[in-house]
A and B are shown apart, each in its own frame.
Chain A
């Protein structure tokens, strides 16, 4: 087994599927010769040739539309949107088109497309690079939205996403790309889309989270332990569809929950998780389910990013509030 960063695990997943299936195509802006702006596709063009791994003109809508056309002719496209803030340029191709292809055609066609894209705060990008827009994607029926929190999951989830016969939005948190290494098997393996993981067991409160907030939540749980609060941490891994069984089983055990996301508070994944818990487990609750989120502004200009982004102290505060309710 090798020690890999998340970005290495992502490259490894694409390499695995490029080898496994000749219909897998990897393309986007700078993904060929340059290996991607984060080096996610490093070496892939050299290994698999320009026919399979290639650069595109600089036009996100074109990339999305082309992915659909390639899917129609039997390919399994893995396009990259260079930064997820650029998704607005390709919203119709994603939400108006690929998400609806199976539905619109009454099952005649489908779109086995994995749209990979970096996102997430903490790396001081210019505007429209780091935004957490998973809530926007999760509102679109027909899509699946996957957000790995570590190298091991990233590889297994990306392989599953590429093999999925429906479009998957695969969001890669930039802060996690190289922040730590983990044992990642060199052989292929999959992690089922739609399955959360209990990262830490606890009995007093459930912390439902995903992406970079998993690390912050685990750190918070350790601190809470010192105060005698036993927190269970659930990494959603897939934010649409939710793993409702894992969430509800945990809440029925702990009777309390908070939901933590890096995105703004309004609408979004956390609001949906709260609503689902209220729908399904209200009688198990001993306190309201609260949220830890960023404020409802546009994503912070980088000089204010550190304060704007939620961190473990916000999680500790909110968890304590719920436990003491």
Chain B
């Protein structure tokens, strides 16, 4: 007899789903307690964010926005998880996770300024949000720290962070989960598994069949969720949050999702690594389509309501772009001012130089 090894870990990580792709409740006992207004609000946010994505792509193509990572397809993962948070909870986003921080309170024009590479877009205005992290996984160890800090301060709040399937390969992913687990810190680690890290498929990231099972090694809770099902995502985060603030430690949540668009608007061509069949397979699972069906069946949604959201989104986006345009131009002296609390001699000199240069 050979050495005994553990088998079928992934078998214990069956995908958690409440609403199937036909808009039917398939897991009634898991249904979260949400009022009709809250259900409508979730739909509102998803539709709004889909429009925001379409407009952002178009504005990027016109040269009116800069760096942009498309979000369509991931609305349930992004917004269902954010909706489960308290206003005082912390969000440490990855670069695609702009919608969550907008719905956590970041003004839309600031999201546009972030895209344009203007520092005002990164100012938090007293919100518990960091600007989107560019280094994959760096925010995960920071999340463990924020969570530990919340615990030490006796706050009943959590820190949530987001990364993708590629991010789950980073050392910082393991370190962050392991630290948070070791201190039973109230952290929630969301991995939006959209199947591709730019072009590399998730199957090439790891021999692990699920990302959720990576929680096992850290000794923390892990769950795989249908990331196109906003109710399942909301419920999973609500439960994780409850455990976290009760001192039961962190949770890893893998949301199975898909990004319809390219990795970013900087020249990525998904046809080089994804098939049309795969695209259409995932479009059938669309989070908005299924939730619309569900709400329509309950008489909570209709075309008129949807059009109202679309019009509202378009008007607000237009106003936010205008506000972004009207923000004072960024100066090198602004950058210098934010290097230290008190400037050292070299930056004091350079401040004077650039002040003269920029006043010309």
Which A positions have Cβ atoms within 8 angstroms of B? 25, 51, 56-57, 59, 61-62, 64-75, 92-93, 96-97, 102-110, 141-142, 144, 164-166, 194, 241-242, 244-245
Shortest distance in angstroms between B75's beta carbon and chain A's nearest beta carbon? 27
Partner of A65, one of B150, B153, B176: B176
A241 to B343, CA, bound (A): 10
Given the known interface contacts A59-B175, A69-B145, A241-B346, the answer about A105 and B138 at a Cβ–Cβ threshold of 8 Å is: no
Residues A97 and B124 in contact, CB atoms below 8 Å apart: no
- Is the C-beta of B119 less than 8 angstroms from some C-beta in chain A? yes
Given the known interface contacts A62-B175, A62-B179, A105-B124, the answer about A142 and B146 at a Cβ–Cβ threshold of 8 Å is: no
- Is the C-beta of B345 less than 8 angstroms from some C-beta in chain A? yes
Contacts of A241 in B (CB 8 A): 344-346
Chain B 61-90 interface 0/1 with A at a Cβ cutoff of 8 Å (1 = within): 000000000000000000000000000001
Shortest distance in angstroms between B245's beta carbon and chain A's nearest beta carbon? 15
Residues B144 and A104 in contact, CB atoms below 8 Å apart: no
- Is the C-beta of B300 less than 8 angstroms from some C-beta in chain A? no
Residues B140 and A65 in contact, CB atoms below 8 Å apart: yes
Residues B346 and A165 in contact, CB atoms below 8 Å apart: no
Residues B120 and A106 in contact, CB atoms below 8 Å apart: yes
Partner of A74, one of B122, B130, B153, B172: B153
- Is the C-beta of B340 less than 8 angstroms from some C-beta in chain A? yes
- Is the C-beta of B149 less than 8 angstroms from some C-beta in chain A? yes
Residues B178 and A57 in contact, CB atoms below 8 Å apart: yes
A142 to B340, CA, bound (A): 6
Residues B340 and A56 in contact, CB atoms below 8 Å apart: no
Among all A-B residue pairs, the 8 with the closest Cβ atoms:
A69-B145, A65-B141, A73-B149, A241-B344, A62-B175, A66-B145, A69-B146, A108-B124
Partner of A107, one of B140, B146, B179, B338: B338
Residues A244 and B176 in contact, CB atoms below 8 Å apart: no
Residues A69 and B172 in contact, CB atoms below 8 Å apart: no
- Is the C-beta of B4 less than 8 angstroms from some C-beta in chain A? no
Contacts of B138 in A (CB 8 A): 65, 92-93, 96-97
Residues A61 and B172 in contact, CB atoms below 8 Å apart: yes
- Is the C-beta of B163 less than 8 angstroms from some C-beta in chain A? no
A244 to B147, CA, bound (A): 41
Given the known interface contacts A62-B144, A66-B141, the answer about A74 and B341 at a Cβ–Cβ threshold of 8 Å is: no
Contacts of B341 in A (CB 8 A): 102, 110, 164-166
Tell me the nearest residue of chain B to A98, going by C-beta: B142
- Is the C-beta of B277 less than 8 angstroms from some C-beta in chain A? no
A104 to B335, CA, bound (A): 9
Q: Report B132-189 residues with CB < 8 Å from chain A CB.
A: 135, 138, 140-150, 152-153, 159, 171-172, 175-176, 178-179, 182
Contacts of A93 in B (CB 8 A): 138, 141
A106 to B121, CA, bound (A): 9
Shortest distance in angstroms between A250's beta carbon and chain B's nearest beta carbon? 16
Known: A102-B341, A110-B341. 20 other contacts (CB 8 A): A59-B175, A61-B171, A62-B178, A65-B141, A67-B145, A69-B149, A69-B159, A72-B142, A73-B150, A75-B152, A92-B135, A92-B138, A102-B339, A103-B119, A106-B123, A107-B337, A142-B339, A144-B340, A241-B344, A244-B345
Partner of A73, one of B119, B146, B334, B338: B146
A194 to B138, CA, bound (A): 30
Sample (28) of A-B pairs whose CB atoms are under 8 Å apart? A61-B141, A61-B172, A61-B175, A62-B176, A62-B179, A65-B175, A66-B144, A66-B148, A68-B145, A69-B147, A70-B146, A73-B90, A73-B149, A74-B149, A92-B172, A93-B138, A96-B138, A97-B138, A103-B339, A105-B124, A106-B123, A108-B124, A141-B339, A144-B340, A164-B341, A166-B341, A242-B345, A245-B345
Shortest distance in angstroms between A271's beta carbon and chain B's nearest beta carbon? 15
Residues A72 and B338 in contact, CB atoms below 8 Å apart: no
Tell me the nearest residue of chain A to B155, going by C-beta: A73
